[in-house]
Structure 1
Amino acid sequence: MRTFLRIWFGQTVSQIGSRMTHFGLTLWIWGQSGQATSVALMIFFSILPTIFVAPIAGMLVYRWDRKRLILGSDLVAGLSTIALLTLYLMGHLEIWHLYLTSAVNTVFSQLQGIAFSASITLLVPPEQYTRASGLRFVTNYGASIIGPAFAGVLYYSVKLPGIMMVDLMTLSIALTTLALAHIPRAVETEAGRESRQNWWTEISYGFRYLRARPNLFALSLIAVSFWLAHDLGGALYAPMVLARSGDSARALAAVSTAAGIGGITGAIFMSAWGGGKYRRIHPFLLGTIGAGIAKTIFGLGQSLLVWFPAQVFSSLNFPVRGGAIDSIWMSKVEPDIQGRVFAFNYLLEGILTAAATLVAGPLADQVFEPAMRPGGNLTAIFGWLVGTENSSGMAVIYIGSSLMMIVIGLVGYVLPTIRNVEKITPDAIALSPEATVMPITEPVLAEL
């Protein structure tokens, strides 16, 4: 657990810097274009590579040293930040540069995420799985509190270059803590040996593994369906807030901070609770429904008086549902093949969310925004609910996607294959009691 905490601390600090840079770049894009499509496309290009990387990511995580993968991914992120900083200082930074670096960073971030997720079971005892997952959400939402809050202030003083410099300093801390950590390697289980036959067998193994376990396959589908609905509205989150607040960076920073407060509260709760004796499917499904309810209220709001508390409650649900489903995956899938199963989940999620973010911007700018202006086709239906000013069309899409999230959670409860997944599917430890760990003795930094 100590090694996990060391890595976790470094990644948390680095995430704060990354969130600051992402926040600053979002403001810069909005200032350059003033269109939801431009902001949504940055999200799209940060998702698109997952479709192509996910099929091979699980195999690479299995074959390659996981510590090197995480280190290499951090280094690529740092080089991307340096490239953008250089272009900005030279006066040559353009929006397409951000799309390109987002795509490149996603490739390595995908490998890093799968490598770290698949390493948790090697660093943490089974009874601490839910707690470890909760701490990862502390990283995500703690950064959401500190990063945008700092960036919202610094953007008006040190501008984008100053924010990027802070990002690079936090990255150096992550690289140092990771370099000093030791990540063991899992010995093959029977399932792992079965998967290692040829490249195509390894690439497709995550799908075949889940297909042979209908309950886990159904859980995967319900999980990625949630992100389809979430990202359809999430792509319009920043443009909607900026448009409704008069392009206020502080308003966007405030709701981002609210997301962090809610998220870190939920993460601390999950870390302290550790799952208890209850079935973990319940917090997953209830968290899905709760997030949808809160986001519906957020979409109806038009000021921080509504946005802030709604965002706090919305984000509180994500560590609860995320910690619960992570714990299910870690306990039901053998450690040495988790990378390939996680990769398949990333692939499904990438396809659906890429489609959602690709259509969200044009759908808002070309269809719903014109239809919600005074005299528009949808004004009589939704005007009383969200108004007819700029961004009302985005609000309609956001509310619709939030209602979809509620429906997805309810469907999970209706289907016995999902509701009873923990009862039906045996634990991986019972399936492979011979699984142990093998130390990695090579010097990790020698090849970097």
Structure 2
Amino acid sequence: MTERSDSSRMWTFLVVWLGQFVSLVGSGMTTFALGFWVLEQTGSNTRFTLVAFFGVLPGVVALPLAGALVDRWGGRRAMLLADLGEGLCVLTAMLLAWTGQLSFATVCVLALVNSLFGAMRWPAYSTLPPLLLPARHLGRANGMIHAAEAGAAIVAPLAAGFLVTSLRLPGVLLMDLSTFVISMVTLLAVRAALPRPAPGPQPHDRAGTGRPSLGAEVAYGWSYIRARPGLWALLIFFAVTNFTVIGLARTLYTPLILGFTSPKALGTLLSIGGAGLLLGAAAMTAWGGPRRRIHGVLGFTLIQGVVIILGGLLPNAFLVGLSVFMLSFCFPIVTGSSQALWQSKVALDVQGRVFSVRRMLGWSSLPLAYLVGGPLADHVFEPLLAPGGALADSVGRFIGVGTGRGIALLYIVIGSLTVLTVIVSYQFARLRHVEDELPDALPSPAHPSWSGT
């Protein structure tokens, strides 16, 4: 690439990145406000996690199809469709809330539909850095993406915590709706600037139409990963740690914190987590991650396991805030290292399909975590550390007794399982040496148009 071409492509990346950041802020506000509304209306941790379940499972199942469509249509068109569909879901929720007809059931249905449209966004957005930027900048580009997520994680809960008490739920949803419009405008503004990779080897076309069937394209992502044991092992590792770290630990932070403090303090602590995410993303952007990216994945996941244990020790805002901060700080380094590894080892023209299957399998444990997390908290761990509970006079002497302390015990178990997973995974040589076994797939020349029009 020429210097001028590099600069032009970076500006294109920044325009899309900015639109996605604004959209993330709006979506984060809606997630906070709807989560608070569900807990306020039902008082049930199980129902709270069920909303997360319906917000993830359909999108996970639809990911392979979404990835094949991204490779066919182009990332820009797929992201526009995602914005349009998610915006319609927010509009529906806003109208129902305004008329007093919003219910727990409708929130679950809207979360399901929103998840289907959202399945388009991730594979499309994930293919953007390797299409626009040279391989040496992938870690930094992924750091910028995480910086946007971090900024949203700071701004969204603080803003939503204030606005949900003044504007109430409909006002928060209206603000989110405006962010989808901004995101769509940025995507329309770069219509001719997004590149598209030249097609490489494709699945066999049995119909003789000159193009493989959609089913063959979906299956190709699976076969691509299974033929590479190191990538397959990395995928299994993330399926396990996503269950513990994201599915259980991050989801149950809200009821854990509300067990000993107020909603305003919750917003503050979640924003502290956002600050950790921002600093981790800034570090990843400036540093680019470890030279051996697998060390970034395993090493910082180990740290996450330790700080999850820390968060369960005492009902103390400083200790829990430190745990939230460090857990969030590690996320951009873990996911950025993994993302750069995949982006550099997977052929550009099949990344939509491969990344979608990767996301589906890596996130396949999340719906299970959302299903079992609430019942585990409500019916197993919370009763154990309630006053007079089975562990109140033993474990309760060390970590406390009462509301939220059962979830704290669950945190200690989750953190211990995460640490054990890292230790066991490091023993598998194909995973440790995945970067040595697989050649880089990124070509050096620039690619022609990816606008998807």
**TM-score class, shorter:** over 0.9
Equivalent residue number for residue 320 of structure 1: 333
Equivalent residue number for residue 267 of structure 2: 253
Equivalent residue number for residue 215 of structure 1: 230
Q: Please state if 1:239 is matched with 2:259.
A: no
Q: Please state if 1:329 is matched with 2:342.
A: yes
Which of 200, 204, 214 is matched with 1:189 structurally?
A: 200
Equivalent residue number for residue 286 of structure 2: 272
CA drift at 1:193:
5.2
Matched AA of 1:212: A
Q: What is the TM-score with the length of structure 2 in the denominator?
A: 0.92
What is the aligned-residue identity percentage? 35
The one-character-per-residue Cα deviations of 1:239-282 (angstroms, maximum 9, x if unpaired) are: 2211221xx22121112101110011010111111236x21111
Contact 1:78-1:171 at 8 Å conserved across structures: yes
Equivalent residue number for residue 404 of structure 1: 417
Which of 213, 216, 220 is matched with 1:198 structurally?
A: 213
The one-character-per-residue Cα deviations of 1:97-139 (angstroms, maximum 9, x if unpaired) are: 1111111111111111111112321122211111110011011
Q: State how far apart, in whole Å, the 2-side matches of 1:60 and 1:402 are.
A: 37
Q: Please state if 1:121 is matched with 2:139.
A: no
Q: 1:91 to 1:259 in 2, by over 3 A?
A: same
The one-character-per-residue Cα deviations of 1:323-375 (angstroms, maximum 9, x if unpaired) are: 11100000000011111111112221332111111011112112222222233
Contact 2:75-2:451 at 8 Å conserved across structures: no
Q: State how far apart, in whole Å, the 2-side matches of 1:51 and 1:72 are.
A: 17
CA drift at 1:161:
2.0
Q: Please state if 1:262 is matched with 2:273.
A: no
Q: What is the TM-score with the length of structure 1 in the denominator?
A: 0.93
Q: Which deviates more, 57-66 or 29-38?
A: 57-66
- Aligned ranges 1:46-65 → 2 under 5 Å: 46-65=55-74
Contact 1:81-1:168 at 8 Å conserved across structures: yes
CA drift at 1:388:
1.8
Query: Secondary structure at 1:282's aligned position in 2?
Result: helix
Q: State how far apart, in whole Å, the 2-side matches of 1:327 and 1:350 are.
A: 18
Query: Secondary structure at 2:315's aligned position in 1?
Result: coil
Q: State how far apart, in whole Å, the 2-side matches of 1:32 and 1:61 are.
A: 39
Contact 1:39-1:239 at 8 Å conserved across structures: no
Q: State how far apart, in whole Å, the 1-side matches of 2:367 and 2:126 are.
A: 22
Q: 1:217 to 1:24 in 2, by over 3 A?
A: same
Contact 1:188-1:435 at 8 Å conserved across structures: no
- Aligned ranges 1:221-232 → 2 under 5 Å: 221-230=236-245, 231-232=247-248
Contact 2:71-2:352 at 8 Å conserved across structures: yes
Q: Please state if 1:285 is matched with 2:295.
A: no
CA drift at 1:320:
0.7
Q: State how far apart, in whole Å, the 2-side matches of 1:259 and 1:412 are.
A: 27
Q: State how far apart, in whole Å, the 2-side matches of 1:441 and 1:315 are.
A: 34
The one-character-per-residue Cα deviations of 1:146-170 (angstroms, maximum 9, x if unpaired) are: 1101111122222222222221222
Unpaired segments of 5 or more residues in structure 2?
Answer: 1-9, 206-210
Matched AA of 2:123: I
Q: Please state if 1:81 is matched with 2:90.
A: yes
Unpaired segments of 5 or more residues in structure 1?
Answer: none
Q: State how far apart, in whole Å, the 2-side matches of 1:258 and 1:441 are.
A: 38
Q: State how far apart, in whole Å, the 1-side matches of 2:91 and 2:370 are.
A: 27
Query: Secondary structure at 1:185's aligned position in 2?
Result: coil
Matched AA of 2:167: V
Which of 327, 338, 343 is matched with 2:356 structurally?
A: 343
CA drift at 1:434:
8.9
Q: State how far apart, in whole Å, the 2-side matches of 1:194 and 1:329 are.
A: 24
Equivalent residue number for residue 175 of structure 2: 166
Which of 424, 434, 447 is matched with 1:421 structurally?
A: 434
Query: Secondary structure at 2:127's aligned position in 1?
Result: helix
Contact 1:130-1:324 at 8 Å conserved across structures: yes
Q: State how far apart, in whole Å, the 1-side matches of 2:333 and 2:423 are.
A: 17
Q: 1:193 to 1:125 in 2, by over 3 A?
A: farther
Equivalent residue number for residue 25 of structure 1: 34
Q: 1:275 to 1:379 in 2, by over 3 A?
A: same
Q: State how far apart, in whole Å, the 1-side matches of 2:316 and 2:72 are.
A: 50
Which of 372, 379, 384 is matched with 2:385 structurally?
A: 372
Q: Please state if 1:438 is matched with 2:451.
A: no
Q: 1:156 to 1:36 in 2, by over 3 A?
A: same
Q: Which deviates more, 252-261 or 232-241?
A: 232-241
Matched AA of 1:184: P
